[in-house]
Amino acid sequence: MTHLILDIGNTRTKVAVMKEGDIVEQCTCPDIMQLNLRSLCTRHSVDKAIASVVGPMPDFRALLPCDVMKKFHLLSHTSRMPIKIDYATPETLGMDRVAAVVGAREQCPGSPLMVVDAGSCITIDLLDDNDCYRGGAILPGLQMRFKAMHHYTAALPEVELTAEELSGETLTPIVGRSTRESLVAGVCNAALFEIQGFAEEYRRQYPDIKLFLTGGNADFFAKRLFFPNFALPSLMLIGLDKLLELNV
């Protein structure tokens, strides 16, 4: 079976074609309307599709072939899940968070999991060893922090991290020696220390917990955290593929 996986986030859309659990084609773009999904489905003989959507809902009937639309699933809190959801307001829970946790469980059965999605926002989610999703935390992402400091002050510039700074190959200085360096030191190290703090606290409760990182800035944090972790950009796609199998 060949599946079309759509992860429509705050700032970008990830599209993948998966066959028997393997990604055979993948792309990322700012707007799903830029993609010819009908052609993609025809080229790969897609059988069914799933979407996780954050924000405005696209018109999937206009985007997908009729035969695929008949086996299309829009992920929601009412979808069938391979995990239990212990969340006070499941209707407000971002399905991207659930998909990432399900993807992590597919990679690592049995252990408690902390799943960090480092994107526009940084989400931290906890799955216990009984496959019960316990909730987590939502933090501002790196660029959101830079934008906020620029917007709410008169003199601070808006910083854009370079590809080299985001790669994780060079360490962020703890002491900035210019205004830009001070902003980078503050934003990047604060976010790092926050994730590290959550990881250490979760580890007190679950000593054998495993940490998974995903999202656009996963590599940045993976190479800096003082905690064993697994960085897997395709984590959410793996989770969505599993959820599609359960629901269609």
CA 9 remoteness from chain centre:
9
Instruction: Taking each helix axis as running N to C, give the angle between helix 235-247 and helix 95-107, from 0 to 180 degrees, rounded to the nearest 10.
Output: 100
DSSP reduced 3-state for 82: coil
- Contact indicator for 155, 148 with CB cutoff of 8 Å: no
* Amino acid at residue number 5: I
Point out the catalytic residue in the list 22, 59, 67, 96. Answer: 96
DSSP code of residue 115: E
DSSP code of residue 158: P
| Cα–Cα distance, 68 to 116 (Å, whole number) | 32
**Does the annotation mark 96 as catalytic?**
yes
Report the relative pairing of strands 72-74 and 113-118 from DSSP bridges.
unpaired
DSSP reduced 3-state for 88: coil
DSSP reduced 3-state for 61: helix
Residues forming the active site: 96
